[in-house]
Structure 1
């Protein structure tokens, strides 16, 4: 860091490059922050590796956390959905004790309980599968559930504003971050992608073509009418919702040149993407595709499947870039995987990072090389559960400590304009993860952890973070004197020798 500051002060590094380099160093120094805890108000006895764990335990959702969503304007409001169908709203900037060593415990500002009646109540009846905020206003968010419904909620009132019955189990939904239309793409047990218009409240369109349930969906951040969806049949289809048929093409794992698909390379006279016929047998994966995302600039599509492969595609040509992420990838869950890439400005162009929930750890990988930059390992046992507060054996539930959802906090809480939290607020964090053991965990840069003086120093503090500031001034002066004397001795030993030439 000192060298980077020196280069910036001498003008060798420009302000944009400086911000990008500093942001990248913070991202790669993320570590678990167990001092941030989420208390949903549920009580019981914890079960770790089959044995009761002593002490008091808290959970965000005792039954397990299925989904997370974070509003992108201030990075302040976090919404979580549980396996028990409940939804909780958290304020990440709620006031905490000024004591930096204390545990920061968040409590929900709003709770939407499970609805037990099929005909009444606001909440969902079965587990929440996906959450997302309204794209242009944090005052509303969306949720889908195994109860076959899509619901629109008021964030402040924690009340339902609209409910849409889709007639099939809903695995995921997606809202365009840039579009003027208010269409929600829903992936359900039915092979057709359902488009719900929030303005009219109707299912305005169905996109047919997949051969099975749709597990993943993601809108292009560049073309407001382009949608990518993944299915259990191993295909990834791209759609232009303005077209009658809708389909643009298929991503083909055997196409490393972009020969069979040319959907986003250009536009025709009407402004619509050009289309070239794809191979009818084209597949992106040899197993169900349950993960899809785009890079922020819209240049690449990232897909993940049950074949334990992650593939990166050129969005303009449909070319498989052949990025290899190795054998470490784990992907067994049927529901959608919420992976994401580093936002624009955080890393240099062509050096984007991929954040992948790999069972009980988060892998931070180079998007194009596939190499693992760092592993974020969660604190706690591999299996965990709860026993009901009454102590009844029948109330015990044991699950694997698997990560189900990830969200990036790029603003608010001391966040910088480049999308990385640089410390300052004791509630700031770069990433939040949801776990099946009922916890929501935070991951913060090592610099933020050091400033909070929580616990012992860990490996992240070795990243040139001016650790000498914590030493005693007299000790620092003595060390400097020793170093200066050693350098003087070396200098004298070299310069004191008489050199002759013959």
Structure 2
């Protein structure tokens, strides 16, 4: 660490390099923290998690019981052992509670005073955090599988919504109405995600095995339909032309820079795509167990070099190196299948929720004597221990 500080002060190293290396080191040391508990409020499985980016303090969860909970992640106890308390709950006693399973929750990107939830009760609700009452309710013809607000939009306030009807609905927060429909899928839309790089670019995943990329400024058709075979028709059957997976595609996630898109499907595969060209990068992650018929929420790290992806895999969370496909470790602690996980970029922590009704916190377990940095060469990291906690050498990733 002192070597990085010296090199940075002398102008010999990239100012962001120390931050990237330390972030990577923290991610590689993630462990289930016995001193960190999260209040157990949900009476049924947890489907969705979101952590707000304004303060990085509040976490939203939605469950199969229709309940929505807001947690405070801040430690005010003054001791290492503490419990993240539920500060607000939209429970079964509330007249505004969702009648069926909550599939997606998301904070408004610019203000914690508002959040959005969607449910199998065919509604999407825009909530006032202060009153815990919906300021707006959108009703749809079928179950709502997923919704997403752009994290960077300045010129629009659209919420993309994927439902059982094979059309993507675009709802405007300003007018409180549905203003547009994107048509092209032939089965239910299981996941939608806005690009973190371009505010008008949207990706959608469907049970028809296809992933489409849209420019919402052009209404005619999608920009791209991702093809796992990269246009090689000799490798694809006539029924499988331009399919991203050989099964339902139920997970989407852009990388932090928006240059790549990750998808997961019920064919037990995860694929990495160039989001600009739609090219399958052919990274082999091996078998990624995926039995979910609904949306699967997975997450990519931010600020690491290289980046890592955390994806639910049965009752474990699998951690992969994003660009090589190497399985780094399996985080085990849940008693039943995991449906969602969310990465906290400020502290390099991971939160996961599953059908066991538990939310687990995975935090860095740092051992400062383990890593010794050479002051003459800021890009060399030597380990006194031959192996890290994940069973892999840390310098395989820190470079």
- Asked if TM exceeds 0.5, the reply is yes
1:219-273 deviation digits (Å, cap 9, x = unpaired): 111221111101001000111111121411200111079xxxxxxxxxxxxxxxx
| Counterpart among 366, 371, 376 of residue 464 in structure 1 | 371
| Counterpart among 298, 315, 319 of residue 364 in structure 1 | 319
- Per the normalisation by structure 2, the TM-score is 0.86
Distance 2:130 2:352 in 1: 23
Distance 1:293 1:313 in 2: 11
Preserved CA contact (<8 Å) 1:230 1:289: yes
Judging by fraction of residues, say which structure has more strand.
2
In structure 2, what is the equivalent of residue 431 of structure 1? 350
Deviation at 1:107, TM superposition (A): 2.6
In structure 1, what is the equivalent of residue 254 of structure 2? 294
Distance 2:2 2:145 in 1: 48
Deviation at 1:374, TM superposition (A): 2.3
Distance 2:67 2:372 in 1: 42
1:375-430 deviation digits (Å, cap 9, x = unpaired): 2222x5x4xxxxxxxxxxxxxxxxxx12111122223xxx4xxxx4xxxxxxxxx1
Structure index of larger Rg: 1
Question: Are 1:336 and 2:295 an aligned pair?
Answer: yes
Question: Are 1:407 and 2:342 an aligned pair?
Answer: yes
- Contiguous gaps of at least 5 residues in structure 2: 233-238, 374-399
Q: How does 1:107-126 map to 2 (within 5 A)?
A: 107-114=85-92, 121-126=95-100
Question: Are 1:75 and 2:56 an aligned pair?
Answer: yes
Preserved CA contact (<8 Å) 1:291 1:304: yes
Cα RMSD (Å)? 2.3
In structure 2, what is the equivalent of residue 34 of structure 1? 34
Distance 2:54 2:362 in 1: 20
* Secondary structure of residue in 1 paired with 2:243: coil
- Contiguous gaps of at least 5 residues in structure 1: 40-58, 258-278, 383-400, 421-429, 451-460, 467-502
Distance 1:354 1:219 in 2: 18
* Secondary structure of residue in 2 paired with 1:178: coil
Distance 2:331 2:12 in 1: 33
Question: Are 1:176 and 2:83 an aligned pair?
Answer: no
Distance 1:302 1:137 in 2: 27
* Aligned CA distance change for structure 1 residues 99 and 339 (closer, same or farther; 3 Å): closer
Deviation at 1:12, TM superposition (A): 5.2
Question: Are 1:442 and 2:384 an aligned pair?
Answer: no
Judging by fraction of residues, say which structure has more helix.
1
* Aligned CA distance change for structure 1 residues 161 and 463 (closer, same or farther; 3 Å): farther
**How many residue pairs were aligned?**
366
| Counterpart among 163, 176, 187 of residue 137 in structure 2 | 163
Preserved CA contact (<8 Å) 2:204 2:213: yes
* Secondary structure of residue in 1 paired with 2:70: strand
In structure 1, what is the equivalent of residue 388 of structure 2? none
Question: Are 1:323 and 2:283 an aligned pair?
Answer: yes
Distance 2:31 2:169 in 1: 39
* Secondary structure of residue in 2 paired with 1:291: strand
- Per the normalisation by structure 1, the TM-score is 0.69
* Secondary structure of residue in 2 paired with 1:24: helix
Preserved CA contact (<8 Å) 1:256 1:321: no
Moved over 3 A (4+): 1-14, 461-466
Deviation at 1:95, TM superposition (A): 2.3
Distance 1:128 1:94 in 2: 28
Distance 1:38 1:339 in 2: 20
